[in-house]
């Protein structure tokens, strides 16, 4: 058995990977895999760059930003959450955008996916994210986001499932919609899997074996959503109805094959360049390692790079 630590940016990320561990999918592939959480995209990117972790999940904005700055890892596949399945959740008493002026909103960390997406959402609705609101990085307090909203230490946050369903069930917050459903934002490839450059060069077959097992675990989870919801409920100690709602909300939107949305990733790079987070000269081939992509995706990348 090969021991592997798989990176995750929150305690609620890479959940189909955790499911695969519990159901023996990785063990059957000869992998003794465990999931290690490092809260925050930039913080997790730094761990991949240092080699503390050599494979795992991360959001595309902090990964692209880090790679543009010279980080020693590359995007090798899509994560489960290929579309941006992050949800703007606000305290149940908030009814209008104007009520957010002078208030605090939470993001995972400053520079994380949620931070960039939140800035774009606020700007679209006439709020200056630097002057009209205060965006705070929650970091290790991210698991407490619902309690922070309930106490109104923050008025809302961009959250992922099942936190959204937990907060709704408790009557604390309302879901104002996902990032993926906002037509004023570009189509974005959100969650990605990355691998360190040293690992890619040393043992690309092992990288592929991990990616294949992640794909198998994700497909198994959504092929049996009742079992997956039961695992989620047991792992997080939440009611079955909440776990079932969370799985049902995203069942038709998740990525089952690990294939990257190259158009979405390119639009993400362009968005990051607009925000001055990466150089305008950065291209897809600077951030993606092609050898782990299906042949048809490699061809699509070639077409996208010349269009």
pLDDT at 48: 98
pLDDT at 41: 87
Q: Which residue, chain included where needed, has tokens 């990733």?
A: 265
In this prediction, what percent of the chain has a pLDDT beyond 70? 95
pLDDT digits (tens, 9 = 90+) for 123-141: 999 999 999 999 999 988 9
Adjacency order of strands within the sheet including 55-59: 31-37, 2-8, 55-59, 191-196, 73-78
Closest to 169 in 3D by CA, of 161, 179, 157, 177 = 161
Asked if the model's pLDDT at residue 241 lies above 80, the reply is yes
Residue with the larger pLDDT of the pair 109 and 105: 105
The burial class, CB within 10 Å (0-12 / 13-18 / 19+), for 55 is buried
- The sign one gets for the Cα dihedral 66, 283, 9, 111 is positive
pLDDT at 293: 78
Asked if the model's pLDDT at residue 34 lies above 80, the reply is yes
pLDDT at 49: 97
Q: How far apart are CA 102 and CA 88, in angstroms?
A: 18
- The sign one gets for the Cα dihedral 245, 246, 252, 256 is negative
The pTM of this model reads 0.85
Q: Confidence band (pLDDT; 50, 70, 90) for 66?
A: very high
Closest to 33 in 3D by CA, of 56, 4, 9, 7 = 4
Question: Are the C-beta atoms of residues 38 and 9 closer than 8 Å to each other?
Answer: yes
Q: Which residue, chain included where needed, has tokens 């990032």?
A: 179
Q: Confidence band (pLDDT; 50, 70, 90) for 53?
A: very high
pLDDT at 75: 97
Element (H, E) at 218: helix 204-223
Three-state DSSP class for 191? Answer: strand
Q: Within 10 Å of residue 144's Cβ, how many Cβ atoms?
A: 14
Q: Confidence band (pLDDT; 50, 70, 90) for 185?
A: confident
Asked if the model's pLDDT at residue 307 lies above 70, the reply is no
**What value does the mean pLDDT take over residues 142-156?**
96
**What value does the mean pLDDT take over residues 41-51?**
95
The burial class, CB within 10 Å (0-12 / 13-18 / 19+), for 114 is buried
Question: Are the C-beta atoms of residues 79 and 152 closer than 8 Å to each other?
Answer: no
Asked if the model's pLDDT at residue 186 lies above 90, the reply is no
Asked if the model's pLDDT at residue 32 lies above 80, the reply is yes
Q: Confidence band (pLDDT; 50, 70, 90) for 299?
A: low
pLDDT at 306: 53
**What value does the mean pLDDT take over residues 54-66?**
94
Q: How far apart are CA 229 and CA 243, in angstroms?
A: 5
pLDDT at 300: 56
Domains of the chain are 2-83+188-236+250-306 (3.40.190.10), 87-178 (3.40.190.10)
Average predicted confidence (pLDDT) for the chain: 92
Q: How far apart are CA 216 and CA 224, in angstroms?
A: 12
pLDDT at 187: 79
């Amino acid at each position: 058995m090969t021991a592997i630590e798989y990176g995750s940016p929150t305690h609620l990320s890479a959940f189909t990977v955790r499911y695969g561990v519990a159901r023996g999918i990785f063990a059957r592939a000869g992998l003794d895999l465990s999931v290690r959480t490092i809260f925050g995209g930039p913080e997790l990117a730094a761990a991949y760059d240092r080699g503390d972790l050599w494979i795992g999940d991360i959001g595309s904005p902090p990964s692209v930003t880090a790679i543009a700055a010279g980080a020693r890892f590359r995007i090798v596949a899509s994560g489960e959450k290929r579309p941006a399945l992050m949800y703007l959740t606000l305290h149940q008493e908030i009814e209008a955008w104007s009520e957010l002026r002078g208030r605090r909103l939470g993001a995972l960390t400053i520079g994380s996916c949620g931070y960039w997406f939140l800035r774009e959402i606020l700007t679209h609705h006439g709020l200056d994210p630097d002057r009209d609101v205060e965006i705070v990085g929650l970091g290790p307090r991210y698991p407490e986001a619902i309690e922070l909203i309930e106490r109104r230490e923050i008025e809302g946050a961009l959250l992922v499932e099942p936190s959204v369903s937990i907060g709704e069930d408790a009557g604390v917050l309302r879901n104002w919609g996902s990032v993926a459903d906002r037509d004023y934002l570009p189509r974005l490839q959100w969650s990605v899997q990355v691998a360190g450059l040293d690992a890619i060069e040393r043992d690309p077959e092992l990288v592929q074996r991990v990616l294949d097992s992640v794909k198998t675990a994700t497909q198994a989870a959504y092929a049996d959503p009742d079992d997956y919801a039961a695992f989620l409920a047991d792992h997080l100690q939440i009611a079955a109805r909440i776990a079932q709602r969370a799985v049902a909300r995203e069942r038709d939107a998740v990525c089952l094959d690990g294939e990257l949305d190259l158009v979405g990733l390119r639009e993400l790079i362009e968005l990051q360049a607009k925000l001055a987070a990466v150089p305008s000269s950065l291209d897809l081939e600077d951030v993606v390692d092609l050898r782990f992509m299906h042949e048809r995706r490699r061809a699509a990348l070639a077409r996208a790079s010349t269009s």
